[in-house]
Amino acid sequence: MSKQRLVIIGNGMAPGRLLEHLFEAAPDAYDVTIFNAEPRVNYDRIMLSPVLSGEKTFEDIIIHGDAWYEEHGITLHRGEKVTGIDRVAREVTGASGITAAYDKLVIATGSSPFIIPVPGHKLPGVLAYRDLDDVDGMLRAASRGGRAVVIGGGLLGLEAAAGLKSRGMDVTVLHLMPTLMERQLDPAAGYLLQKELESRGIEVRCGANTKAILGGSEVEGVELEDGTVIDASLVVMAVGIRPSVDLAREVGLEVGRGIQTDLAMRTSDPDVFSLGECAEVDGRVYGLVAPLYQMAKVAAEHLAGPSEAAFAHAETPTKLKVTGINLYSVGDFGDGPDREDVVLRDAARGSYRRVILRDDRVIGAVLYGDVADGMWYNELLKSGEDVSAMRETLIFGQAHQGGRMDADPLAAVANLSADAEICGCNGVCKGKIVQAITDKGLTSLGEVRAHTKASASCGTCTGLVESVMALTLGETFAKKAEGMCDCTDLGHGEVRRLIKAQGLKSIPAVMQELEWKSSHGCAKCRPALNYYLLSDWPGEYKDDQQSRFINERVHANIQKDGTYSVVPRMWGGMTSSDELRAIADVVDKFAIPDVKVTGGQRIDLLGVKKEDLPAVWADLNAAGLVSGHAYAKGLRTVKTCVGSTWCRFGTQDSTGLGIKLEKFLWGSWTPAKVKLAVTGCPRNCAEATCKDIGVICVDSGYEIVYGGAAGLHIQGTTKLGTVKTEEEVIEIAAAMTQMYREQGFYLERIYKWAERVGYDTIKAAILDDTDSRRAYYERFVFSQQFAQTDPWSERVSGVDKHEFKPLAVFGEEAETPASVEPAE
């Protein structure tokens, strides 16, 4: 049976989700062609605000990369706006003349921002806030500094304001209504929100009507109706959106506020579907993602075959994606004689909650500050449950019902129904998560994200997802501690994100701005912060030696008797008579009791006294030997076999390539130790398949694998791909190392990082996308200028010597042999 032809106009989040459902239900039913007006792949538009603020990059928010389209045989026309639809000939035409015939057509043209037609609205420097191009324009403006005026105090406007403020601009928000976000918040919550934004240095003017945008060749200011003039170098319009329906109207489809559809998402033409912000279903148009994803699922089921699936309206909660601001609203919170308000205010904590009742049923809720019970109120709203029995304690939340005064999150989640929404961004209910865990044997948060998409977008529901996992898996679920240590409640991911987003460039700055609970940190958090700052600000942040463990500070591994072991580096396990003679002389001179060949093809000098370390290294340096970094959170070794130079089975020069890799990667700090291996043939004598990154030489080139472990945790590697040249191997190894450096949590090995971010994500960024790989590679090369140095020697690259000064051991008293990472 031949495939039908499916053409999709638009490549936003809704059509992307439609295709996911369609390929799952009927993978071979359609040949798919997509016309995308934007010159890029599908990305998560609700994450544009973190891109603007610097918390994420565009690569972080890509939903479907190039490899996904190729895997599913999709023809994607980028930057190709559709100019015509011939419903008789069943053909779509793009602006460049490209045509595509269809059997079924999906129109997902989204919406257009409303631009207030005041004088000056077409000046350069006036932007909307809808897509990545708008964000890029704002970032260019922010790089020049000055003041940004954001017109519109709704969700998008406030997210734009917070992002531009974090980028260093002065920001003024102009809002026509008396309070912010009046469509989602009541005046009391709007007041608290304005107060919080103003405390962050964002000027807010409510009741402000824009008269004109001033300027000649570019924006210079904004004039208000009351005559006030505000200087500005950037104006962002965020006052609303309109469904993009012109194309549908031109071809005779029924159009109201949006493209009108039935509950199956079919338009007035039964072979044409519509979904997303352009669609009007049951008299409503939607702008939040959860209903758009429901549209996608319904349309996919009907495209896959006969179906009874129907779109059903549901109230969608609102959240603001601004770090540190917690608000939640859902349902109807307008005033009326048939309604009853239940309100709780806590001025000291700046929190507010209001639940609106009608006929003893919840019809709306507004929470600011403490939003933990938002989901529970939403459940009561959807179920229509009579709450008269809990009326007196309703406002205190779920933990106070039935005589319970506990606040056990597991109990709260356990009481939720199977169709309770856990992840609003992706429309994932509790039952779907439980079923995925049960059917697929999922045990980690990363696996649940990969299979259900729950918590994969904004991440605010992560705690709820983990609670569902804990309930489903019982004692087998071991949640990692959220905080880095007792000094903070923030996890590693939040700390990494905020360091970058807020431009924090010192340990005291991090501790102050992120509200550390201790004055100086501890042995857990200070080394982690030191690494994150080194990784994020190469060349700007100066390494804090006092925030390193003793092994890293003195380039030697402390032993259980208080002596040290010294491991000189031998590139690729190769050495010479001069190096061996120097080692022998040092052993005799300093009466070093033991000499051992390590598993990493190096020689370990055991039993060195601490006071002898400078002199030992001085003598070794004189013979050209540098530190093997056997202690480092960095490259340890690149293990090699003799390869084609000596072995009759060797297909490539594995030793030579291993030395090149070692010299190129040596010196960069990484979240945890990194070990590589290059083996000369598939017989794998260098054990490449249990290393962090491994290279297996084959007749056709080099097979690259990664994510192995052979310590307390045993794990084989995952294949990344095969390349033809040594140059490609080196570029890929450096790019992957840099991606790991930027995303890994402190002490998180590569295999753990890969499981957390996803093997497909790494493959897409490092192997499939050459531009992304090159960008990571170039950042690695740049960071190498500031790589770690030996304390008593010149680096190979010629960095000046560092004078050795004995340092007090940070955290040494608390360290036990079990907490000191072994050298090999």
Which residues lie closer than 8 Å to 121 by C-beta, 6 or more apart? 115, 213, 237
> What is the distance in angstroms between the CA of the first residue and the CA of the last residue of the chain?
58
Q: What angle, 0 to 180 degrees and rounded to 10, lies between the N-to-C axes of helices 462-473 and 445-452?
A: 110
CB 628 within 8 A of CB 743: no
Q: How far apart are CA 676 and CA 682, in angstroms?
A: 16
Residues facing 210 on adjacent strands = 224
580: phi > 0 → left, psi -120 to 50 → alpha, else beta; which? alpha
How do strand 421-423 and strand 259-261 relate by DSSP bridges? unpaired
**Rounded to the nearest 10 degrees, how much is the dihedral formed by the CA atoms of 295, 301, 302, 308?**
-90
List phi, psi (to 5°) of 469.
-65, -45
Of 655, 633, 646, 670, nearest to 744 (Cα)?
670
CB 531 within 8 A of CB 671: yes
Q: What angle do CA 99, 102, 103 make, to 5 degrees?
A: 170
Q: How far apart are CA 274 and CA 265, in angstroms?
A: 6
Which residues lie closer than 8 Å to 470 by C-beta, 6 or more apart? 410, 477, 479
Q: How far apart are CA 188 and CA 367, in angstroms?
A: 10
Token pair listed for 466: 């983990």
Residues facing 393 on adjacent strands = none
CB 363 within 8 A of CB 329: no
Q: What angle, 0 to 180 degrees and rounded to 10, lies between the N-to-C axes of helices 577-589 and 613-622?
A: 160
CB 291 within 8 A of CB 327: no
Q: What angle do CA 398, 402, 403 make, to 5 degrees?
A: 105
3-state secondary structure 256-309: CCCEEECCCCECCCCCEEECCCCEEECCECCCCHHHHHHHHHHHHHHHHCCCCC
Half-sphere exposure (Cβ direction) of 533: Cα atoms closer than 13 Å: 22
**Rounded to the nearest 10 degrees, how much is the dihedral formed by the CA atoms of 217, 222, 224, 227?**
-70
Q: How far apart are CA 429 and CA 294, in angstroms?
A: 12
Strand (E) or helix (H) holding 720: strand 718-723
Strand (E) or helix (H) holding 163: helix 155-166
3-state helix, strand, coil in the chain (%, to 5): 35, 20, 40
CB 364 within 8 A of CB 332: yes
Q: How far apart are CA 301 and CA 814, in angstroms?
A: 59
Which residues lie closer than 8 Å to 199 by C-beta, 6 or more apart? none
Q: What angle do CA 49, 742, 68 make, to 5 degrees?
A: 65
Residue 647 annotated as part of some ligand binding site: yes
Residue 685 annotated as part of some ligand binding site: yes
Of 418, 477, 466, nearest to 443 (Cα)?
477
What's CA 674's distance to the chain center, in Å? 23
Transcribe 106-129 into DSSP letters.
Answer: EE---EEE-----TTTTSTTEE--
Q: How far apart are CA 475 and CA 458, in angstroms?
A: 28
Residue 641 annotated as part of some ligand binding site: yes
Point out the annotated binding site for siroheme: 685
Point out the annotated binding site for [4Fe-4S] cluster: 641, 647, 681, 685
Point out the annotated binding site: 641, 647, 681, 685
